[in-house]
Structure 1
């Protein structure tokens, strides 16, 4: 059995780099589209609400692994030859937008209706009501759930290996095959995931506790 040296650890760090990059792209892109989904879910037009409810149902009701397959191979069937990196980024953005949209929809609806009615009475338009009154409170209310989803998204990036994307888990598999030390390699990989996700989980729990204290 080969030893795990600096080269193997460097390769794992390269995989970690792509895991973090994919998480940031998926979360940022999902945040932008998720906000639009949340606004559509709370719109006054029933057809818009139903359409976005269907969108959310599709992505929440199907495995992320299947979504990666559909985007990667589906785009190829349409005649577009895209890199695995782009396909995975699109899939994670769509996936995150559905979940974040539903999380933030709950936050928007948790804001007391009286505040919206008071803002309308003052003559504020919909954009100002959302930007200045509703969304700041809604995002604060939904922050613990948002952080929880971020943790899930980080761990979910391991599924990207199925379409040939080399992130942390796939890098660990490659190193394991080269060194024949699967327990040691995946213990290191698991520790890296833990060191990333555990502080975020503590942060989310702390935010939730502060919100509960403030609500009393």
Structure 2
């Protein structure tokens, strides 16, 4: 890659990277909330909510993320409503990744010793009070490494949002290639920027797992 091509492409790609990071943070927050709600409903929800939560999880875990994004972006327009590309990306990624995050939280909730629930009842806490004040803090410590791993998957999934026209990192890279060519150099730079974002998180997960294995 020539220095002129690098200097002209990098600012555009960095702008796309900023959009990718904003989209990722918004989708991580949304996906975490959706996933936690689904995990709670599936674990001890009232009436038929466990079945509904399981249906949601199985549905989105069994379909591609692109289908979810297309359905939200074009489906809303089909019913006569307008939706922003960024909003469609956040909602689509949150709903899709929430199904995977729900299973991470569910496994963490079920890993907490049942005696914790019994002690909470003895102390006079309601089920919800026990969950938020006793069970959830312990669950957070258990699920943090796999949760970070799922966030890494979400960050990489943001590249698919380019299919609905959002100008994130991948879309900007594609626009540069369409204009000036040099796909190997441009996509290599795009891959490097994704790597710079994801590598520290993946390293943290490996170090955390290694530390846990040594302590166990």
TM-score tier by shorter-chain length is: over 0.9
Matched with 1:137 is 138
Q: CA–CA distance in 2 between the matches of 1:131 and 1:81?
A: 37
Match of residue 40 from structure 2: 39
Q: Is the 8 A contact 1:4 1:179 kept in 2?
A: no
CA RMSD between the two structures: 1.6
**In structure 2, how many angstroms separate the alpha carbons of the residues matched to 1:68 and 1:44?**
28
State the Cα distance separating 1:46 from its structure 2 match: 5.5
In 2 relative to 1, CA 78–208 (structure 1 residues): closer, same or farther, beyond 3 Å? same
The number of equivalent residue pairs is: 215
Partner of 1:77: 78
Instruction: Give the structure-1-normalised TM-score.
Output: 0.94
- Could you tell me which residue of structure 2 aligns to residue 119 of structure 1? 120
Change (3 A) 1:110 1:46: farther
Q: What secondary structure sits across from 2:5 in the alignment?
A: coil
* Inter-partner Cα distance in structure 2 for 1:116 and 1:174: 55
Listed one character per residue, the Cα deviations across residues 81-137 of structure 1 (whole Å, up to 9, x for unaligned) are: 112111111111111221111110110001011111121122111222112211111
When structure 1 is superposed on structure 2, of 171-180 and 20-29 the one drifting more is 171-180
Report the Cα offset of residue 49 of structure 1: 0.8
What pairs up with 1:170-189 in 2 under 5 angstroms? 170-189=171-190
**In 2, Cα distance between equivalents of 1:110 and 1:5:** 50
C-alpha distance 82-44 of structure 1, shift in aligned 2 (>3 A): closer
The aligned runs of 1:99-114 (5 Å cut-off) are 99-114=100-115
Shift in alpha-carbon separation, 1:133–1:213, aligned structure 2, 3 A = farther
Q: 1:211 to 1:61 in 2, by over 3 A?
A: same
Unaligned runs of 5+ residues in structure 1 are none
Instruction: Tell me which residue corresponds to 1:25.
Output: 26
Correspondence for 1:96: 97
Please, which moves more after superposition, 85-94 or 103-112? 85-94
Structure 2 partner of 1:148: 149
**Long gaps (5+) in structure 2:** none
In structure 1, the partner of 2:211 is 210
The separation in 2 between residues aligned to 1:40 and 1:80, in whole angstroms, is 30
Report the Cα offset of residue 178 of structure 1: 2.0
